[in-house]
Structure 1
Amino acid sequence: MRVLAISDLHLDFKDNMDALRKMPAFPQDWLITCGDLCTSEAHLRTTLDILVPRFKRVFWVPGNHELWSSAPVAGGPLLRGMAKYRHLVDVCREYDVLTPEDPYVTWTGPGGPCRIVPLFLGYDYSFRPEHVAFEDAVAWAMEDGVLCSDEKLINPEPYESMPAWCRARLGYSLDRLEAIADGTPTVLINHFPLRRDLVRLRRIPRFTIWCGTRETETFHLAYEAKVVVSGHLHMRATDYRDHVRFEEVSLGYPRDWLRDRGVAAYLREILPGPTDPPPKDAGPIWRFR
């Protein structure tokens, strides 16, 4: 009995979808899916048709790709912003998949008890150098030839911007987190990294502004985290901060992983997790392809 995690399956790519279909079942294990599974409702339903029968329980949080307004819902309109997010939550609930809008459940198996906490927290351009003003952040990234597709494909309505949506989600999530702060260890799950120092993008360093918010830097301490799970970076790694384990669990685009290993090889064990004590340094422990 384990809690496993994976993110960034990007199942709009046929190679990734074909590989997921071949993944074996893990009927005693829980699975955390940590965003960027796909961009459309149709692909989400196909994904859940595959995953839900193969795991005892499944969790979902949205990534930025889920929020893209690039395809209408089946037989319906092109949903944007909060309307699309709420619709995807409803789809997950049809499959009994737990989302950031549902009551938090507690894992009582090996490594527990731990409360499993799916979050939907976005980005607010605060992962930028001190000398760059908020209003100049996107232009600063573009100076280096970097522009996230979200700027064109996400309409954050009813909010005026993604940072405004991020602020609203922070307020909502903080209220929920404070309501459960009873000393029970947590597994915090968010598509975007909760700490800036875990964003290592050597080839496109200015992409960091689309990778999270500084408002979450101490969540792992404030909410008794045993493990923090994220994706988005396509740079799989295990890190420790303040003796808390941080897991980046992306699969990625077809170029980012080895298909002869299969998807199952990229499932990360969150609980019970490693038995060795955390190392003294704060660097990444390992990465693998």
Structure 2
Amino acid sequence: MKLFAVADLHLGFAANREALAEIQPRPEDWLILAGDVGETSNHLRLAFESLLPKFKKLVWVPGNHELWAVSGRDAEPGARALRGEERYLAFVELCREYGVLTPEDDYPLIAVDGGLLRLVPMFLLYDYSFRPADVAEEDALAWARAGGVRCADEQFLAAEPFASRSQWCRKRCEETEARLAALGEDDAPRVLVNHWPLREELARPPRIPRFSLWCGTTRTRDWHARFKAGAVVSGHLHMPSSRIIDGVRFEEVSFGYPKQWRGRRAPDDALRRIMV
């Protein structure tokens, strides 16, 4: 069995929906969907119904776009847009309807490329800590705006029932850290999967470096070393890359918006094989 990953399918775009048909079947392999499949339950259903027949198992973690609560985008006309944690948990239930693995499930031990690994899907969010040391947290948004950077999360990504996204992030990190610690001396290398990158140096888009504010948390900087990662998978930045840090491979596996991939690479080529 092989393990593949892709993020940021953004199925709100017609070209990206059409691109699903170009992903080739790999019926013995697993596919990680590392967030930003789309904004609605219909986008997730479309992804699952297109990809489940092609793969043995799908794994999903949320991105910021799934968490956007935008009036009129939910499945039922006039339905109340689910917000915050309620929205996330509704998507978890949708995944379970299709048999898709989520961050709320046990971390499976799977055989990949002839060896065992522990697959760890995570949902950690961000807390504005990817900023210069001389910028206080309460000044972070003003710092980003001074660089001409804004993020739609400030309008659409509700944190309910938490007081803030930073508080939600702290809870998710504490819970996930405890689960990872509970694995103990499990000898299998882990594949850590999160939509947002785990390290700040991976979260600096060259054209808009202050977008880093919405890209992760410094809480996870050493998780790859502390928790025996063989590989770390993320998306969000729309900057596909593969880097080695402390002997661990960090894979950014974004597909991206149509203008970012059309004429540059075939949709099937966006799937990254994850090896440890």
Please say whether Structure 1 and Structure 2 have the same fold, judged by a TM-score greater than 0.5. Answer: yes
Give the conservation status (yes or no) of the 8 Å contact 1:141–1:206: yes
Q: What's the counterpart of residue 185 of structure 2?
A: 182
| 1:147-184 CA-partner distances (Å, limit 9, x unpaired) | 10000001110011111110010111112111113232
Match of 1:200 among 204, 223, 244: 204
Q: What is the percentage of aligned positions where both structures have the same residue?
A: 49
Q: In structure 2, what is the Cα distance between the partners aligned to 1:221 and 1:153?
A: 34
Matching of residue 228 in structure 1 with residue 228 in structure 2: no
| 1:2-58 CA-partner distances (Å, limit 9, x unpaired) | 100000011100001101123221101100110001000111111111111110011
Deviates more, 1:95-104 or 1:254-263: 254-263
Q: What's the counterpart of residue 277 of structure 1?
A: none
Give the conservation status (yes or no) of the 8 Å contact 1:12–1:43: yes
* TM score, norm. by length of structure 1: 0.91
Q: In structure 2, what is the Cα distance between the partners aligned to 1:217 and 1:49?
A: 35
Give the superposed CA RMSD: 1.3
Give the conservation status (yes or no) of the 8 Å contact 1:146–1:207: yes
Secondary structure class of the residue paired with 1:66: helix
Q: In structure 2, what is the Cα distance between the partners aligned to 1:138 and 1:260?
A: 34
Q: What's the counterpart of residue 282 of structure 1?
A: none
Which one-letter code corresponds to 1:115 in the other structure?
A: R
Give the conservation status (yes or no) of the 8 Å contact 1:124–1:212: yes
TM-fit CA distance, 1:260: 7.2
Give the conservation status (yes or no) of the 8 Å contact 2:102–2:121: yes
Give the conservation status (yes or no) of the 8 Å contact 2:67–2:87: yes
Q: What's the counterpart of residue 39 of structure 1?
A: 39
Q: What's the counterpart of residue 241 of structure 2?
A: 237
Give the conservation status (yes or no) of the 8 Å contact 1:15–1:254: yes
Show the 5 A alignment for 1:1-289.
1-70=1-70, 71-74=73-76, 76-110=79-113, 112-183=115-186, 184-258=188-262, 261-271=265-275
Deviates more, 1:246-255 or 1:105-114: 105-114
| 1:92-131 CA-partner distances (Å, limit 9, x unpaired) | 0001000000011112131531100000001100000001
Deviates more, 1:71-80 or 1:87-96: 71-80
Deviates more, 1:223-232 or 1:76-85: 76-85
Count of aligned positions: 272
Secondary structure class of the residue paired with 2:274: strand
TM-fit CA distance, 1:259: 5.1
TM-fit CA distance, 1:262: 2.7
TM-fit CA distance, 1:73: 4.2
Give the conservation status (yes or no) of the 8 Å contact 1:188–1:227: yes
Deviating runs (4+, > 4 A) in structure 1?
A: none
Q: What's the counterpart of residue 275 of structure 1?
A: none
Unaligned runs of 5+ in 1: 273-289
Q: What's the counterpart of residue 278 of structure 1?
A: none
Which one-letter code corresponds to 2:33 in the other structure?
A: T
